A and B are shown apart, each in its own frame.
Chain A
Amino acid sequence: MSSPLLCLNDLTSGYGSAAVLHDISLEVDRARIVAVLGKNGMGKSTLLKTIMGFVRPMSGRIMFGEEDMTNVGPNRMVRAGVAHAPQEHTLFPDLTVEDNLRLGVISDRLFRQRLPEIEAVFPRMIERLRQSAGTLSGGEQKMLLMSRVLIAQPKIVLVDEISEGLQPTMVNRMAEALIRARDELGIAVLLVEQHLSFALSVADQVAMMKLGEIVERGTPQELGEGDRLAAHLAV
Chain B
Amino acid sequence: MGDDRTWATSRFRRAFIGSLIGLAVVAIAPFFLDIYLTSILIRTLFLAAVVMTVDIIWGWVGILTFGQSAFFGIGAYACGLVFTHYGFGPGWALGALAIGLIAAALVAGATGWLAFFHGSSPLYASIMTLALPIILTQVIFSAGTFTGSSSGLSGFPTYYWSLEVWLWIAGVFLVLTTAGGWLLVRSDFGRVMIAIRENELRCAYLGIPVSRIKTALMIAAAIVTAAAGFGYAAFSNVVAPELAGFQLGTEFLIWTALGGRGTLFGPVVAAIGIETTSSWLSGTLPFLWQLLIGVVFVTVIVLLPRGFAPLCTGLWRYVRPKSRPFVLERTLALDSDSRLGQRASIDTPPLLIEQLSRRYGSLHVLTDVTMTARASQLLGIIGPNGAGKTTLMRCISDGNERSDGMVKINGNDIGRASPHKVVEHGVGRSFQNTSLFDSLTIAECLMLARYRLDGAQLFRNKTNLALSQPALDILSATGLDQRLTEQTKNLSHGMKRGLELAMVLASEPSVLLLDEPTAGLTHAERAVIGKVLSRLTREYALCIVLIEHDLDFVREISDRVVVLHQGEILMEGSVDEVVSSELVKSVYAGHQVEAAE
Contact = CB atoms under 8 A, between A and B. Distances in A.
The short answer to whether A and B are in direct contact, CB under 8 Å, is yes
B354 interface: no
A230 interface: yes
Contacts of A135: 362-363
Contact of A93 (B363, B492, B589): B363
A168 B566 CA distance: 16
Interface string A123-136: 00000000010110
Contacts of A69: none
B363 to A, nearest CB: 4
Interface in A127-179: 132, 134-135, 137-138, 161, 163-165, 167-168
A108 to B, nearest CB: 25
A165 B361 contact: no
A39 B549 CA distance: 10
Nearest to A132: B362
A88 B586 CA distance: 22
B95 interface: no
A87 B591 CA distance: 16
A234 B594 CA distance: 9
Nearest to B493: A18
A87 B549 contact: no
B415 interface: no
A221 interface: no
A111 interface: no
Contact of A94 (B361, B385, B492, B565): B361
Given A88-B386, A93-B363, A94-B362, A164 B595 contact: no
Contact of A197 (B360, B384, B591): B591
A167 B587 contact: yes
Interface in A48-96: 87-88, 93-94
A195 interface: yes
Nearest to B492: A18
A234 B566 CA distance: 25
A165 B384 contact: yes
B590 A168 contact: yes
B489 to A, nearest CB: 9
A194 B493 contact: no
A134 B363 contact: yes
B387 interface: yes
Contacts of B384: 164-165
A159 to B, nearest CB: 14
B389 to A, nearest CB: 12
A107 B465 CA distance: 62
A134 B594 contact: no
B264 to A, nearest CB: 30
A201 to B, nearest CB: 12
Nearest to B592: A194
Given A40-B550, A41-B520, A94-B362, A165 B592 contact: no
Nearest to A231: B595
Contact of A194 (B492, B586, B588, B595): B595
A138 B386 contact: yes
B361 A196 contact: no
B386 A165 contact: yes
A5 interface: no
B549 A40 contact: yes
A122 interface: no
Given A137-B566, A230-B595, 17 more contacts: A18-B492, A39-B550, A41-B550, A93-B361, A93-B362, A93-B363, A132-B362, A134-B362, A164-B384, A165-B384, A165-B385, A165-B565, A196-B591, A197-B591, A234-B596, A234-B597, A235-B596
Interface of B: 360-363, 384-387, 492-493, 519-520, 549-550, 552, 565-566, 586-592, 594-597
15 contacts: A94-B361, A132-B362, A134-B361, A137-B566, A164-B385, A164-B589, A165-B384, A165-B386, A165-B387, A165-B588, A167-B586, A194-B591, A197-B591, A197-B594, A234-B596
